[in-house]
């Protein structure tokens, strides 16, 4: 575990560390004050590398950081914190972005659970609309950017009601043909990680991987229950409870869209954010043929009483035909 930087330390002759606001296996995220812009608070994300790795791997990892930071610094969207600077000190790299005040959605969900209630669907769908805007922006960059770690704790609600996707730690940039250019670190959070992100399905991630995590996040926010790990679901495909069995106030439309996004295999999910948004917000949006299991089941199994009627009718027709043939 990296040794945290002490409060009061000034990085890059500019950023005075105030406190740690996040910590992971490859470094910390600090609240800092930009001394060139007095009073401006920022978040400084630290990446520390394992010096036990071969020098060639370390050099490639640091090159990846530089490439990603350069791309992130060009992004400009109201639901994303602005990346304003990046630099290196010794064996550590740093990414500087806007500090986003407010509570994250995980905190709001915990508060609702403590009150033995659920977050209102209307609020969750408002947040979903903002998340979708941010993801569509990322996915339509050239090359596209896949976040790979959508989850409630990475979504902050500002005091004015604006939602921000605050962590860029796991973004992945894709070249045409979905060839991976860079991958900064990690594999995402297990509760929201799709099968392909483990390398167990198609072996690569794309926009549909973010859609899976997006669906898992909405499931958690609306039910107070995390979605089952995909490894468990792979062994038992029917193990994930329907959202409305946990919270009956969820609309059928919302439940249908969420479970479509949570399909195990990428080809069974919405192809892009626009398709998912349509399923979430448009009343007559068509259901996925893969989601509507009843479409895939034989009618005789699906509705046995109708099967008996069909069978009886068929026997009557055959009997009538035999009678006509004998009379003829």
CATH number at residue 285: 1.10.510.10
135 and 61 belong to one structural domain: no
58 and 23 belong to one structural domain: yes
Burial pattern 89-103, b for ≥16 Cβ within 10 A else e, equals: eeebbbbbbbbbebe
201 and 152 belong to one structural domain: yes
Domain that holds residue 41: 10-98
Cβ proximity of 184 and 47 under 8 Å: yes
Cβ proximity of 102 and 158 under 8 Å: yes
Domain finish residue from 98, 123, 141: 98
What pLDDT was estimated at residue 323? 52
151 and 287 belong to one structural domain: yes
> Strands, E, within the chain: which ranges?
10-11, 15-24, 27-34, 40-48, 83-89, 92-98, 103-104, 145-146, 155-157, 163-165, 172-175, 179-183
Q: What confidence tens digit (pLDDT) does each residue in 129-139 have?
A: 999 999 999 99
136 and 261 belong to one structural domain: yes
Q: What angle do CA 86, 89, 91 make, to 5 degrees?
A: 110
Q: What is the CATH number of the domain that holds 90?
A: 3.30.200.20
Cβ proximity of 105 and 130 under 8 Å: no
What pLDDT was estimated at residue 166? 87
Query: Active site includes 238?
Result: no
What pLDDT was estimated at residue 173? 55
Cβ proximity of 170 and 186 under 8 Å: yes
Q: What is the largest CA-CA distance in the chain?
A: 106
Establish if 71 belongs to a structural domain: yes
**Binding residue ranges for ATP:** 45
Q: Which residues contact 81 (CB under 8 A, 6 or more apart)?
A: 43, 97, 98, 99, 100, 164, 165, 166
189 and 67 belong to one structural domain: no
**Cα–Cα nearest to 149, from 196, 67, 209, 227:** 209
Helix (H, G, I), strand (E, B) or coil at 147: coil
**Binding residue ranges:** 45
229 and 126 belong to one structural domain: yes
Establish if 23 belongs to a structural domain: yes
Tens of pLDDT along the chain (328 residues) come to 668 899 999 999 999 999 999 887 678 899 999 999 988 999 999 988 888 888 898 888 888 888 889 988 999 999 999 999 999 998 899 999 999 999 999 999 999 999 999 999 999 999 999 999 999 999 999 889 998 889 999 999 999 999 999 876 545 555 444 433 333 334 446 789 898 887 644 457 899 999 999 999 999 999 999 999 888 999 998 999 999 999 999 999 999 999 999 999 999 999 999 999 999 999 765 554 443 333 233 333 334 444 444 445 545 544 554 454 455 4
Domain finish residue from 62, 77, 98: 98
What pLDDT was estimated at residue 16? 97
225 and 310 belong to one structural domain: no
85 and 191 belong to one structural domain: no
Establish if 4 belongs to a structural domain: no
Establish if 5 belongs to a structural domain: no
221 and 315 belong to one structural domain: no
What pLDDT was estimated at residue 149? 87
- State the pTM of this model: 0.80
Q: What angle do CA 88, 188, 140 make, to 5 degrees?
A: 80
Establish if 143 belongs to a structural domain: yes
CA 91 – CA 138 distance, rounded (Å): 29
Classify the C-alpha dihedral 74-75-77-83 as positive or negative: negative
The number of domains in the chain is 3
Establish if 281 belongs to a structural domain: yes
171 and 67 belong to one structural domain: no
On average, the pLDDT of the chain sits at 82
262 and 302 belong to one structural domain: no
Catalytic residue among 93, 104, 149, 206: 149
Establish if 3 belongs to a structural domain: no
Q: Rounded to an integer, what is the distance from CA 155 to the centroid of its chain? A: 11
């Amino acid at each position: 575990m990296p040794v945290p930087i002490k409060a009061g330390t000034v990085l890059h002759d500019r950023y005075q560390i105030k406190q740690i606001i996040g910590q992971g296996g490859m470094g910390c995220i600090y609240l800092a004050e930009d001394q060139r812009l007095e009073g401006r608070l920022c978040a400084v994300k630290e990446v520390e590398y394992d010096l036990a790795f071969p020098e060639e791997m370390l050099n490639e990892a640091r090159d990846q950081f530089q490439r990603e930071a350069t791309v992130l610094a060009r992004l400009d969207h109201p639901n994303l914190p602005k990346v304003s600077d990046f630099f290196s000190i010794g064996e550590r790299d740093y990414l500087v972005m806007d500090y986003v005040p407010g509570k994250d959605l995980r905190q709001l969900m915990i508060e609702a659970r403590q009150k033995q209630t659920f977050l209102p669907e209307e609020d969750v769908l408002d947040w979903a609309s903002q998340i979708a805007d941010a993801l569509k922006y990322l996915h339509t960059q050239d090359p596209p950017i896949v976040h790979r770690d959508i989850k409630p704790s990475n979504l902050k609600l500002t005091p004015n009601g604006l939602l921000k996707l605050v962590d860029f730690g796991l973004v992945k940039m894709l070249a045409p043909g979905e060839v991976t250019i860079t991958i900064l670190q990690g594999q995402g959070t297990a509760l929201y990680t799709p099968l392909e992100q483990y390398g167990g399905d198609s072996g690569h991630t794309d926009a549909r991987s973010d859609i899976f995590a997006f669906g898992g996040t909405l499931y958690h926010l609306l039910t107070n229950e995390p979605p089952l790990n995909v490894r468990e679901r792979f062994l038992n495909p029917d193990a994930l409870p329907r959202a409305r069995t946990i919270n009956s106030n969820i609309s059928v439309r919302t439940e249908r869209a969420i479970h479509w996004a949570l399909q195990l295999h990428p080809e069974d999910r919405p192809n892009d954010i626009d398709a998912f948004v349509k399923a979430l917000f448009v009343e007559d949006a068509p259901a996925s043929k893969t989601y509507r299991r009843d479409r895939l089941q034989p009618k005789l199994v699906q509705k046995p009483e109708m099967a008996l009627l069909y069978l009886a009718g068929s026997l009557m027709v055959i009997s009538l035909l035999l009678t006509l043939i004998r009379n003829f």
